[in-house]
Amino acid sequence: MLPIALSELVQIFRNRLVLVTSFIMPVAIAAFFIYRHELFASVGSLGYIAAIVMFTVGAFGLYTTTVTTLASRRQNLFLKRLRSTAIGDAGILSGLLLPVTVIALVQVVVILVVLAVVAGGPDNVVLLAAAVVSMLVMMLGLGLATAGLTNSPEHAQVTTLPVSIGTIAVASWVGIAGTEELTLVKRLLPGGSATELVVNAWNGGVAVTDSLLLLAPTLAWVIVAVTLASRMFRWEPRR
């Protein structure tokens, strides 16, 4: 697994397009949110800013790169090549997705630390960490499922839009409007409960046990995504 992960890291840094669109752009957007944190905090709260920058990295960094990488590696038969070796499928996928996951995690941590330094820190760091990890796992699962529907890297520009735009929209809706109204709908939408969890963790004022329950919908999305991926994921291009 590690040799694949290392080669994937090399490829990421050699491909300027991937580097810019998937890693630099999300950071630039997050930097803007932090720079104008007083404005965005007045619209929502600091918790909202934390959620939106987290989902910006999760959607445009991790999710989109996961789909693009898997579609690209499938299209040029690199997945088939890897499967002609002795390593198992889980090892191949782990190796391919480990670098982008670690990069996304580092990005989110650095961005949230900067936000904490600039605008004030979170109320509950452990809860925030749980929200970050659950969001990353959910976006990975959705990425695997979407990759099953994506024929090429070019096709990924279309197939990733519903989830990436959708989760950002849900994060904005929940982060700004809260969950007092349409509570169930907002929590069941992908990213809704994770956003509420981040807002609670950052702003405080909600019992930890109540907040922890919000992990359930996110984990349910992980199960849905992995189930879909196991049915739809293809290792070779359609003939």
Positions touching other proteins (CB under 8 A) are 3-4, 7, 10-11, 14-15, 73, 76-78, 80-88, 236
Complex with other proteins: residue 14 or 205, whichever CB lies closer: 14
Task: Select 210 or 231, whichever has its Cβ closest to other proteins.
Answer: 231
| In the complex, least distance from residue 151 CB atom to other proteins, rounded to whole angstroms | 16
Shortest reach from residue 160's CB to other proteins, in Å? 21
- The runs of H, that is alpha helices, within 151-214 are 153-159, 161-177, 183-188, 192-203, 208-212
Which residue, among 30, 52, 36, 66, has the nearest Cα to 147 in the 3D structure? Answer: 66
Rg (CA), the chain: 18
Q: Which residue is listed with tokens 């920058």? A: 53
CB of 70 to other proteins, least distance (A): 13
How near is the Cβ of 14 to other proteins at its closest, in Å? 5
Q: Which is nearer to other proteins, 36 or 80 (CB)?
A: 80
- 89-119 vs 25-35: helix axis angle to the nearest 10? 20
Rounded to the nearest whole angstrom, what is the least distance from the CB of residue 92 to other proteins in the complex? Answer: 9
Closest CB to other proteins among residues 38, 231: 231
CB of 145 closer than 8 Å to CB of 221: no
- Choose between 77 and 232: whose C-beta lies nearer to other proteins: 77
**Whole-angstrom Cα distance, residue 46 to residue 175?**
9
Sole residue written with tokens 């934390």: 50
